[in-house]
Amino acid sequence: MNKILVIEDDRVIRENILKLLKAEGYDVTGAENGAMGLNAAVSNLPDVILCDVMMPQLDGYGVLEALRSHPVTATVPFVFLTGKADRSEVRQGMELGADDYLTKPFTKAELVGAVSSRLKKQAALAKQQDNLRSQSNELLQEAADKLEQIKTNLCGALDRQEFQVYYQPQIDVQTGQIMSAEALVRWLHPEKGLISPAEFIPDAEATGFIVQLGEWVLQTACRQMQVWQNAGFSLEQIAVNLSPRQFYQPDLSSRVAEILAEIGLAPSSLELELTESMMVKDAESAIATLQQLKDLGISISIDDFGTGYSSLSYLTQYPFDVLKIDRCFITNITDGCANAAIVKAIIEMAHSLCLEVIAEGVETEAERDFLWRYECDAMQGYLFSPPVPAVDFEELLVSGK
Ligand SMILES: [Mg+2]
């Protein structure tokens, strides 16, 4: 049964309206002034409110304003009851957000018509909202199902050993020898072939699978490093990229320590690469995590330097060991170009902060010569080798390239 609240200070008019509406089958409540009407509106939440404009103390405008600003009653249909000639009253009421008005005296048909048309409109709005809600629920469900499906696919790929760790040499700029390696994950799909990390890493990140995948990469790379060290190759470090999700795992440092202990690899042989953007999310906890990792003896490098937030102050706040200059600064670098000034400045600044500098994306001899001249410590890029499978990397080590 629809509930109608009638706020009217004239007792005769009020009771007359209540009687008429009750006869139509509505559940009616009367209030004899604005304050009582407001209380009744908030506690009963009527389907329609009929309210006199002219009342002592709190008038109809005041009631309407209060109702519209209250979250519970903000959208309840509101019909003004006005005196006959008061066009300005009507105008003011509609501007305040009234839905309709009735001019006194009105007939029973006018009263019932005003109430029922408000109720019909309200019912239509409610139905529309229901539809919207169920549509958006469906969309949310679809998105959740899709993510779940993606995660299942990724987990399956890991089980089927479709992921592989590739290794890219990091070359000592002065000696030209391989000093370290960066481990990079690749997905060799049985049908689609090699899927780019740019394609599957965002999915892995979105589904949370990246934590599992990242740990697998870390284990695989550390085990491989152990094999190479045992074989007598003089690799200084294996560098492994950490994803934001992994980095903010509460037990990250103890998990990394466990993995190193299981494999028997010295923490000093591991370098973890992080990006600038990961540091800004929660600086305090980032610094604490980095310090824990450093206390284990692991090196920390800041990856893709210059492309993120580039706030130089964090270089002194965070305990980094290595700075990796992003490839975008290295491409086509020659003395005199703008990037040259940036790279020279970064190398100099990093060295004065006791950071080692690695240049990424070195593809030409001119780029290599530039880095040599300005005493960059290490470099990686296609000039020496793309990321390659472990067996191929081992060949590079053997040939002493
Ligand atoms: Mg990296």
Ligand 1 centroid – CA 272 distance (Å): 9
Ligand 1 centroid – CA 367 distance (Å): 19
Ligand 1 centroid – CA 387 distance (Å): 11
Ligand 1 centroid – CA 182 distance (Å): 7
Q: What's the confidence (pLDDT) of residue 312? A: 75
Q: What's the confidence (pLDDT) of residue 91? A: 85
Ligand 1 centroid – CA 362 distance (Å): 14
Ligand 1 centroid – CA 251 distance (Å): 22
Ligand 1 centroid – CA 60 distance (Å): 67
Ligand 1 centroid – CA 3 distance (Å): 66
Q: Classify residue 272 by its DSSP letter.
A: E
Ligand 1 centroid – CA 338 distance (Å): 24
- C-alpha–C-alpha distance, residues 77 and 50, integer Å: 9
> Could you give phi then psi for residue 311, rounded to 5 degrees?
-85, 115
Ligand 1 centroid – CA 191 distance (Å): 27
Q: What's the confidence (pLDDT) of residue 278? A: 83
Q: What's the confidence (pLDDT) of residue 309? A: 66
Ligand 1 centroid – CA 241 distance (Å): 5
Ligand 1 centroid – CA 359 distance (Å): 11
Q: What's the confidence (pLDDT) of residue 77? A: 95
Q: CB neighbours of 281 closer than 8 A, spacing ≥ 6?
A: 244, 248
Ligand 1 centroid – CA 273 distance (Å): 6
Which candidate, 237, 301, 302, 241, places its Cα nearest to that of 266?
Answer: 237
Ligand 1 centroid – CA 68 distance (Å): 55
Ligand 1 centroid – CA 328 distance (Å): 14
> Could you give phi then psi for residue 250, rounded to 5 degrees?
-60, -30
- C-alpha–C-alpha distance, residues 373 and 46, integer Å: 81
Rounded to the nearest 10°, the torsion over CA 62, 64, 68, 69 is 10
Q: How far is CA 97 from CA 37, 62, 241, 337, in A?
A: 17, 12, 58, 64
Ligand 1 centroid – CA 127 distance (Å): 53
Ligand 1 centroid – CA 287 distance (Å): 19
pLDDT (tens digit, 0 to 9) for every residue of the chain, 401 residues total?
999 999 999 999 999 999 999 999 999 999 999 999 999 999 999 999 999 998 998 999 999 999 999 988 999 999 999 886 667 878 888 888 899 999 989 999 999 999 999 999 999 999 999 999 999 999 999 999 999 999 999 999 999 999 999 999 999 999 999 999 999 999 999 999 999 999 999 999 999 999 999 999 999 999 999 999 999 998 999 999 999 999 999 999 999 999 999 999 999 999 999 988 888 778 888 999 999 999 999 999 999 888 876 667 778 888 999 999 999 999 988 877 889 999 999 999 999 999 999 999 999 999 999 999 999 999 999 999 999 999 999 999 998 75
Instruction: Look at the pTM and tell me if it is higher than 0.75.
Output: no
Ligand 1 centroid – CA 88 distance (Å): 71
Ligand 1 centroid – CA 264 distance (Å): 24
Ligand 1 centroid – CA 86 distance (Å): 75
